Chain A
Amino acid sequence: MITIDKVSKHYGSFQVLTDCSTRVAKGEVVVVCGPSGSGKSTLIKCVNGLEPFQSGTIHVDGISVGDPKTNLPKLRSRVGMVFQHFELFPHMSITENLTIAQEKVLGRSKEEARAKGVGLLDRVGLKAHADKFPGQLSGGQQQRVAIARALSMDPICMLFDEPTSALDPEMINEVLDVMVELAQEGMTMMCVTHEMGFARKVANRVIFMDRGRIVEDDTKEAFFANPRSERAQQFLAKILQH
């Protein structure tokens, strides 16, 4: 589904990504972790072309992301993305947040978009909030709306960039529950997260990044049992303390 091959990226002389390669198969859940600044966000944003990269290739469903001839908006409309800070549109109601792209990008009718949006809102347990505005919801609720918004486009895979790290602790689980359910339904997912409980529960593989390199890419079992690199060992020890 997602194939990342020898991707490198730099800002001026600063190397953000060096020779990153990995694959996410259909239905697979891959968790990406690593210290802050190691390039996780950058890598995941390269996957749907939100960040350009200078060398290497990325294919999503066989389509080359870096190819200038690729219709990026069209590709992105098929790849769901969830951000750390939710990024709901504050000037639109929750329902409009869920329908705008369906209507303007996919060309669905108002009724069809609305039906789909309300259904998804129900699924993330927020049907009662359809007419509110994002500012009236808690962080956890906003993030669940953001997941529903991404799902409204019927994505072939989902990208998550630290979806719970801006949340108060008591709200983390309501978001993780939605993500676990999604994973169990067979959604292809690439998740940047430090929630190791989530990784243990649903990940197939865990990728560990450090200073722009993928230093571990292993099955969940192997990663947790015995991380190969010292950096990953230290990182895990630190994270599991919390």
Chain B
Amino acid sequence: MNYEFDWSSIPGALPFLWEGMKVSLEITVTAVIVGIVWGTLLALMRLGTIKPLAWFAAGYVNLFRAIPLVMVLLWFFLIVPQLLKGFLNLDPNTDVRLTSAMVGFALFESAYYSEIIRAGIQSVPKGQVSAASALGMTYAQAMRLVVLPQAFRNMVPLLLTQAIVLFQDTSLVYVSALADFFGAAYKVGDRDGRLVELLLFAGAVYFVLCFSLSQVVRRLQKRMATV
């Protein structure tokens, strides 16, 4: 096999690739933030004493963890646009693929974040809640002021690791032809007949970003272990 590499189409495509990277990052950041907030609420429901809420949270988490992400994304691409357009009276031609991707990822990731956060909450010794309650704090205050700050401190490495996985998974939005970083690279490669080069380049970028971030996580873990 004698393949001639030709990287010349990459420099000119950088602005377009950067637009794609912005889409990937937007989806990641939204899903991480919504995932942590909604995941925390789900974890609190699941650990709380109100049975219907605990059942709801358990059902939600088990459902999303049992379905492939790609399927969830497809549903959201098919359903959310219709709903949004119906509710908001949008022009049928408005592009809501980015919004659907964000909603799909956020709801899906919440299930995973809620499990991480639930474990984090349970890692805080019970005596801490007793001490907070004994000082007159309500359950909500004990959670907000005493348990969650400690839980999150313990969870930072896991939450970051999940964010790295999520960033890689954003490439799945190619099913909707939305130009995220991977999609953009694919388009350029396809256009110029340089798919191999573009995909190698995209792979290298994913690797560098994710590998550096995971090194940061490792450092963090080491530093936390010594404190």
Contacts of B227 in A (CB 8 A): 135
Contacts of B137 in A (CB 8 A): 73, 101, 104-105
Q: Mark A68-98, 1 if CB is under 8 A from B, else 0.
A: 0000011011111101010111110000000
Bound CA span A192–B149, Å: 31
Nearest residue (CB) in A for B149 is: A91
Q: Given known contacts A100-B145, A104-B141, is B136 in contact with A89 (CB within 8 Å)?
A: no
Bound CA span A220–B47, Å: 45
Total A-B contacts with CB atoms under 8 angstroms apart: 62
A48 within 8 A of B: yes
Nearest residue (CB) in B for A89 is: B146
Interchain CB contact (< 8 A) of A85 among B127, B132, B136, B146: B127
B138-169 contacts to A (CB < 8 Å): 138, 141, 145-146, 149-150, 153
A149 within 8 A of B: yes
Q: Mark B24-39, 1 if CB is under 8 A from A, else 0.
A: 0000000000000000
Interchain CB contact (< 8 A) of A50 among B125, B130, B141, B149: B130
Q: Quick check: A101 and B150 within 8 Å, CB to CB? A: no
Q: Quick check: A74 and B136 within 8 Å, CB to CB? A: yes
Nearest residue (CB) in A for B127 is: A87
B176-221 contacts to A (CB < 8 Å): none
B128 within 8 A of A: yes
Bound CA span A78–B134, Å: 9
Nearest residue (CB) in B for A48 is: B134
Bound CA span A50–B132, Å: 11
Q: Mark B116-131, 1 if CB is under 8 A from A, else 0.
A: 0000000001011011
Interchain CB contact (< 8 A) of A76 among B125, B136, B149, B150: B136
B133 within 8 A of A: yes
Contacts of B127 in A (CB 8 A): 83, 85, 87
Contacts of B88 in A (CB 8 A): none
Nearest residue (CB) in A for B144 is: A104
B135 within 8 A of A: yes
Q: Quick check: B130 and A77 within 8 Å, CB to CB? A: no
Other A-B pairs beyond A73-B136, A80-B134, A87-B130, 13, CB < 8 Å: A50-B130, A73-B133, A76-B136, A78-B136, A83-B127, A85-B125, A87-B128, A91-B150, A100-B135, A100-B145, A104-B145, A135-B227, A150-B134
Binding site for B on A (CB under 8 A): 45, 48, 50, 73-74, 76-81, 83, 85, 87-91, 100-101, 104-106, 135, 149-150, 153
A–B pairs, 18, beta carbons within 8 Å:
A48-B134, A50-B133, A73-B133, A74-B136, A77-B135, A80-B134, A81-B134, A83-B127, A83-B134, A85-B127, A87-B131, A88-B131, A91-B150, A91-B153, A101-B132, A101-B136, A105-B141, A153-B135
